[in-house]
Amino acid sequence: MTRSSQKGHLFLEGPTTVTLRHHLKFAALACAVATLPFIAEAQQTAPAAVPAQQPVLAAPEPAPLPPPPWDPRDAQELLAFIEGVGREGLDPGDYDPAGLSAALRSGNTALLNNAASDRFTKLASDLALGHVRGKDRVDWHIKDPDLGAGRLDQLLRFAVGQHQVARALQNLLPVHPQYTMLKKALEVTPPSEVSKLNRIRLNLDRWRWLPRDLGDRYIIVNVPAYTAALVENGNTLSRHYAVAGAIKTPTPQLSVTATGVILNPWWEIPKSIEPEVRGKRGYVALKGKDGRVQRWRQPPGPSNALGQVKFVMPNPKAIFLHDTNARSKFNSRVRAFSHGCIRTKDIMELSTILLTQGDTEWTREKIQAAVASGKSVQANFAKPLPVYIIYMSSAATVDGRIVDYADVYRRDGKAVAALLDTTATATKTASR
């Protein structure tokens, strides 16, 4: 693939920033029960009983702070934000604008403080972390540190105390250009196209699942698009076709840190694949002291399934980017063939870009020589970078047109149902 410096092309690139940086930290209270040593008197003829050890009691959780006092004008600003949150692909009804409106009219200060705080908290959480949670995300393993419980309470009190409710909420939204483009697509899609609207809404929410700050430099893999891209400062430096996991061995959604590559790698055969290679020519058995086979490996060479390079990116799922000896698979329109890892076209070029950036010993010529040697060599990047493997079934262009990708793992239905708070096939009309 050729390098490019396009900004905002589809969804794989874009600058990200983090506005909230402060963490609220609560000091944990410790409670220890001291015991006095038992001293036996010299003239005592029988041993004295040792008192039973007293259990150490955990300190009680501090009581939650009462809701902050809301100025009715701030509550009205919150109500207006809720009523317009359909622009973000969320349903205003999930935040009960009618209940907040009633609290405003009641003149009851305590009622308003509770009603506004509850709605602000729920809305802020969904804007920062997404409405769909848990297993409904399907094979999701990315941690989003944007808004923990302590920071959420801090944000609430800041927004109310500084009379900046709308601004505080707005600053939680993703800043990636693709999020903005999807919002534009949502705006121009006719209300009658319910299925399309819901798919756009789902992928807007998927962007909220991710950390707001993806980093200055990162690799992002979109499984339904079968692409991997290196992004730096909002510019795509290289984009590559990819082969993802087959339907029976789907690629999970996860974020990991890549520290380097292995040139001419050995392939450590996963246990799930071992029956396919056991005893075959070209595979090496590793035996224990008892002579029994512990695992199987494939040495470097032309037939190695990992090709000439694999990324070093440790993770519990054993998923990584790598080359392949079956490059014809990149010519297929649907590229779900692997056991879960990401086969990446022209990955040697991607590796060369990363290895020659910064203060490293590697040059293009040295990399080529190392590969030609046939020996397995680890080469480290000057600076580790995050790799995000995601599942976006729709992307948008600058003018609001939608590019749909096949929902190869059939994940959209369950996630849309959760977004719409339904248990069956989603039929709810998207809010606008």
Torsion sign over Cα 134, 137, 139, 143: negative
Residue ranges of domains in the chain, CATH in brackets: 1-16+216-265+301-432 (2.40.440.10), 64-173 (no CATH), 266-299 (no CATH)
Are the C-beta atoms of 314 and 277 separated by less than 8 Å?
no
Dihedral (Cα; 126, 131, 135, 137), 10-degree rounding: -110
Per-residue tokens: 286: 């590793």
Are the C-beta atoms of 243 and 343 separated by less than 8 Å?
yes
- Rounded distance between C-alpha atoms, residue 54 and residue 59, angstroms: 15
3-state secondary structure of 416: helix
Dihedral (Cα; 251, 252, 256, 260), 10-degree rounding: -10
Are the C-beta atoms of 321 and 218 separated by less than 8 Å?
no
The one-letter amino acid code at 124 reads: A
Q: What is the pLDDT along the chain (432 residues), one digit of tens a residue?
A: 444 444 444 444 443 333 333 333 333 323 332 332 333 333 344 445 555 666 666 667 666 789 999 999 999 999 999 999 999 999 999 999 999 999 999 999 999 999 999 999 999 999 999 999 999 999 999 999 899 888 999 999 999 999 999 999 999 999 999 999 999 999 999 999 999 999 999 999 999 999 999 999 999 999 999 999 999 998 999 999 999 999 999 999 999 999 999 999 999 998 888 988 898 899 999 999 999 999 999 999 999 999 999 999 999 999 999 999 888 888 888 899 999 999 999 999 999 999 999 999 999 999 999 999 999 999 999 999 999 999 999 999 888 899 999 999 999 999 999 999 986 444 444 343
The one-letter amino acid code at 54 reads: Q
Task: Please state, in angstroms and as integers, the Cα–Cα distance from residue 401 to each residue in 146, 185, 198, 317, 431, following that order.
Answer: 30, 6, 15, 35, 19
Name the one residue in this structure whose structure tokens are 């041993």: 47
3-state secondary structure of 16: coil
Strands (E), 248-345: 253-263, 267-268, 284-287, 293-298, 309-312, 321-322, 336-338, 342-344
Phi, psi angles (nearest 5°) of residue 315: -165, 155
